[in-house]
Amino acid sequence: MTTKDLYLLFQTERTPWGSFKFHIRPCHYENGTTRYIAGDEFENLECVAFLDGGNLVGWKVRYELVSPEFYQTETMYKTLSRIKREMDKFSKRWGNPETFGEFVVRFGNALGSKAYLKASRHEGCIEGDAESIKYWIRDAVFSHRNPPTVIRS
């Protein structure tokens, strides 16, 4: 179990087929530096969705591993089961999440994250709360749906 404050880092990536993938990964954040978690239950864990035709689809919590070892699969199963139980409690209480942003906030609550981070090319990381992550996701969806128009003369 992670003892330091846990943050969730939001990033987007262009896929080989031209779509966008939204990642939210647990990390540590100290003195303006993010560090992915190694050697515990959150290593390689992510919440992910894909932007397809302007909509976020395929929301899921998963481990991104190519060939895990047996001991890793036991830990992964226990962690995913715990996250699912927590997220099921949230769904019973508030219904199913209507947006990927709400799904991410519930994921963060299930993990006990302190805050959310957004990777920025120019500013390093920006720290925010639950409302911030929802806004960042909406903003990223909008900007990827409506890329800036380049006018060539």
The one-letter amino acid at 48: V
* Residue 136 domain flag: yes
153 occurs within a structural domain = no
Number of domains in the chain: 1
Residue 105 phi, psi (nearest 5): -60, -40
pTM: 0.84
* Range among 11-15, 96-100, 120-124 with highest mean pLDDT value: 96-100
- Would 126 be classed as within a structural domain? yes
Q: Is 2 a residue whose pLDDT tops 70?
A: no
**Mean pLDDT, range 42-66, rounded to an integer:** 88
Alpha-carbon distance values, 33 to 2, 57, 92, 108 (Å): 17, 30, 37, 20
Residue 24 falls inside a structural domain: yes
pLDDT at position 145, please?
67
Q: Are 14 and 2 in contact (CB under 8 A)?
A: no
- Whether 61 is covered by a domain: the verdict is yes
Name the residue with tokens 């639950």: 130
Work out the mean pLDDT of the chain and round it to a whole number: 85
Q: Which of 40-49, 61-70, 88-97 has the highest mean pLDDT?
A: 88-97
Residue whose pair of structure tokens reads 């896929």 in the numeric block: 15
What secondary structure letter does DSSP report for 99?
A: S
Give a yes or no: residue 150 inside a domain. Answer: no
Q: Please report which confidence band the pLDDT of residue 122 belongs to, taking 50, 70 and 90 as the band edges.
A: low
Give the Cα separation of 24 and 120 in Å (integer).
14
CA dist., res. 95 & res. 18, Å (int)? 33
